[in-house]
């Protein structure tokens, strides 16, 4: 009876081992919007209880048909493989792309299959041997999130007090499109990609042709941009802390422990606001912001969150859909599109952020607004041919760049409708360029392959439009956009009032 219980427990746990490994790794608390101890773990335990009960009650059938347990083990084996890929001390992707990998893997898998088929009783033994390891992983996973939830650290902190007499003669709307490439947007734009709003803004702005972001990933780039300092490494340290390390330094500091561009803007008498994703801005930068709206990114396999905190039945359906989408190689089946649900949830988060961004862009009481928007970052949620959001089909990076263009048009329309054109400076850039780490993934399209061929996509756009000035100024010197914060403060102080002045300011930096 004990063996029966342990085998059923191990089987059900392996069906969600990707969840337990992700939680045990310790990164989830920083990136999660909700407390996993309340939103994720109870749902997984409910599913495991159902799987355990089904196996336990059907044990007699499994004893009579030993190959049935072997067949059912395809499911926990798939999710265990995801977990093992996560904990490997090296990147397996380069190996997978080697021509010899799959023949070797096929031989090894065939040998293992032959061994198991001749000794199906070994399947139960494997589950028994795994029990101590699985118990340790689950305990570590629960302990990695339990203390944070008990202390209420997943809740957003209180916002900064609203200034009663904010400046109204000048304001800055700072737009960061995640992963927008200068080469694709402007320098070598593919045929068939129309970007009228970006073109219009460039025609009346200072535009840098050789700009690059301070880091190659959002985790380091956003802290760099808000602090005006280059950050080499950013390490999550719980839901309310991100440790930052500058180049050449071994001692780190917390992102929210030092003054940022929003603090300095408030010292000048301006209210500040932020709409963004990926980083938990409401937990880290709340003291610097009058208003803050944020969403989490799509978390790694097993810990993905719904857009809004759901009821238990909704959460169980959400977890089932995520597990189904994550199952290895399932996306290669005809007619099955595993990332459909991810696109659906990403679109919902994007639309929420866009609504809040339009509200803040039209709020005359906010002197500095940062809008960090999750496009054109994959997955692609928009089809430029139809002009609609789309959960299926071969949407790609170019469609997402088109969505960024549409978004820019809507944001500028909100500013105009509020009568704020004459007082609003607009800055458009990106946290990093288009990264080729997506190449070869399940969503990579032939159009993306053609657009990225022999192209340096690491550069980012940098457009500065001062109110009352529509002169097109081309800035062709190399530019690290880490200076954006200082540029914004110069604008808010009134030291820069035109596009040419902005260019001159950059030249002497």
pLDDT digit string (tens) for 235-255?
999 999 999 999 988 999 999
CA distance 489 to 260: 11
Per-residue pLDDT at 160: 96
Per-residue pLDDT at 94: 67
Q: What is the mean pLDDT of the chain?
A: 92
Q: What is the pTM of this model?
A: 0.92
Q: Is the pLDDT of residue 12 over 90?
A: yes
Q: Return the domain boundaries, the chain.
A: 2-150, 171-229+259-304+340-477+486-507
Residue 87, Ramachandran bin (φ over 0: left; ψ between -120 and 50: alpha; else beta): alpha
Strands 479-480, 211-212: pairing is parallel
How buried is 495 (Cβ within 10 angstroms: 0-12 exposed, 13-18 middle, 19+ buried)?
exposed
**CA angle, 468 then 488 then 282, to 5°:** 120
Share of the chain above pLDDT 90, in %: 76
Q: Is the pLDDT of residue 282 over 80?
A: yes
CA distance readout (Å), 282 to 32, 137, 197, 226, 234: 12, 30, 30, 15, 18
Per-residue pLDDT at 116: 67
More confident residue, 127 or 486: 486
Residues 395-419, mean pLDDT to the nearest whole number:
97
Q: Cis (ω within 30 of 0) for the bond into 379?
A: yes
Residues 312-322, mean pLDDT to the nearest whole number:
93
What digits encode the pLDDT tens for the residues 322-367?
A: 998 888 877 656 666 778 899 999 999 999 999 999 999 999 999 9
CA distance 29 to 288: 22
How buried is 248 (Cβ within 10 angstroms: 0-12 exposed, 13-18 middle, 19+ buried)?
exposed
Whose CA is closest to 429, among 221, 163, 136, 204? 221
Superfamily name with CATH number, domain 171-229+259-304+340-477+486-507: Alkaline Phosphatase, subunit A (3.40.720.10)
153 neighbors 238 (Cβ within 8 angstroms): yes
What digits encode the pLDDT tens for the residues 48-101?
A: 999 999 999 998 888 788 778 888 888 998 898 888 877 776 666 666 667 776
Per-residue pLDDT at 111: 76
Q: Would you state the structure tokens that stand for residue 123, as one six-digit string?
A: 């399947």
Strands 473-475, 211-212: pairing is unpaired
Per-residue pLDDT at 91: 67
Per-residue pLDDT at 104: 78
CA distance 208 to 201: 12
Per-residue pLDDT at 165: 67
Per-residue pLDDT at 336: 64
Q: Would you state the structure tokens that stand for residue 181, as one six-digit string?
A: 């490439």
CA distance 351 to 271: 24
Per-residue pLDDT at 120: 62
Per-residue pLDDT at 90: 65
372 neighbors 275 (Cβ within 8 angstroms): yes
Write the secondary structure of 92-120 as one string of H (helix), E (strand) and C (coil): CHHHHCCCCHHHHHHHHHHHHHHHHHHCC
Per-residue pLDDT at 314: 93
Residues 387-403, mean pLDDT to the nearest whole number:
93
Instruction: Encode burial over 431-452: b for 16+ CB neighbours within 10 A, e otherwise.
Output: bbbbeeebeeeebbbebbeebb
Per-residue pLDDT at 92: 64
Q: Would you state the structure tokens that stand for residue 140, as one six-digit string?
A: 């570590």
Q: Where are the alpha helices (DSSP H) in 186-280?
A: 196-203, 218-227, 261-267
Residues 456-484, mean pLDDT to the nearest whole number:
97
What digits encode the pLDDT tens for the residues 429-458?
A: 999 999 998 987 778 899 999 999 999 999
């Amino acid at each position: 009876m004990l063996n029966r219980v342990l085998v059923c427990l191990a089987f059900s746990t392996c069906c969600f081992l990707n969840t337990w490994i992700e939680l045990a790794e310790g990164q989830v608390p920083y990136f999660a919007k909700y407390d996993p101890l309340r939103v994720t773990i109870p749902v997984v335990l409910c599913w495991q209880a159902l799987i355990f009960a089904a196996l336990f009650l059907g044990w007699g059938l499994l004893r009579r048909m030993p190959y049935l347990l072997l067949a059912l083990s395809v499911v926990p084996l798939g999710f265990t493989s995801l977990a093992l890929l996560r904990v490997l001390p090296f990147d397996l992707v380069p190996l997978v792309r080697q021509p010899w990998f799959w023949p070797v893997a096929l031989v090894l898998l065939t040998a293992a299959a032959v061994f198991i088929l001749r000794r199906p009783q070994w399947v139960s033994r494997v589950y028994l041997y795994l029990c101590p390891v699985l118990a340790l992983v689950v305990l570590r996973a629960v302990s990695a999130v339990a203390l944070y939830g008990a202390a209420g650290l997943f809740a957003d902190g209180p916002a900064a007090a609203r200034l009663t007499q904010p400046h109204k003669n000048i304001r800055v709307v700072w737009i960061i499109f995640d992963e927008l490439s200068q080469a694709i947007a402007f320098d070598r734009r593919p045929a068939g990609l129309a970007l009228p709003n970006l073109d219009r803004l460039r025609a009346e702005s200072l535009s840098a042709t050789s700009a690059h972001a301070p880091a190659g990933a959002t985790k380091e780039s956003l802290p760099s941009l808000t602090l005006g300092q280059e950050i080499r490494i950013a390490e999550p340290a719980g839901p309310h802390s991100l440790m930052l390390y500058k180049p050449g330094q071994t001692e780190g500091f917390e992102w929210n422990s030092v003054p940022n561009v929003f603090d300095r803007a408030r010292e000048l008498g301006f209210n500040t606001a932020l709409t963004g994703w990926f980083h938990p801005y409401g937990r880290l930068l709340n003291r610097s912001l009058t208003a803050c709206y944020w969403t989490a990114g799509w978390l790694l396999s097993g810990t993905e969150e719904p857009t809004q905190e759901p009821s238990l039945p909704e959460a169980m359906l959400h977890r089932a859909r995520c597990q189904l989408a994550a199952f290895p190689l399932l996306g290669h089946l005809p007619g099955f599109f595993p990332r459909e649900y991810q696109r659906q949830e990403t679109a919902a988060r994007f639309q929420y952020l866009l609504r809040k961004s339009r509200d803040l862009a039209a709020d005359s009481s906010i002197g500095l607004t940062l809008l960090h928007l999750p496009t054109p970052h994959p997955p692609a949620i928009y089809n430029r041919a139809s002009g609609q959001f789309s959960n299926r089909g071969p949407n790609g990076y170019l469609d997402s760049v088109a969505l960024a263009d549409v978004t820019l048009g809507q944001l500028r329309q909100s500013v105009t409708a509020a009568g704020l054109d004459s007082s609003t400076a607009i800055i458009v850039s990106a946290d990093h360029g288009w990264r080729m780490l997506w190449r070869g993934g399940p969503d990579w399209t032939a159009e993306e392959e053609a657009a990225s061929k022999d192209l340096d996509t690491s550069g980012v756009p940098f457009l500065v439009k001062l109110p009352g000035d529509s002169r097109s100024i081309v800035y062709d010197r190399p530019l690290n956009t880490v200076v954006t914060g200082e540029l914004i403060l110069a604008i808010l102080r009134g030291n820069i009032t035109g596009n040419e002045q902005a260019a001159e300011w950059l030249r002497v930096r």
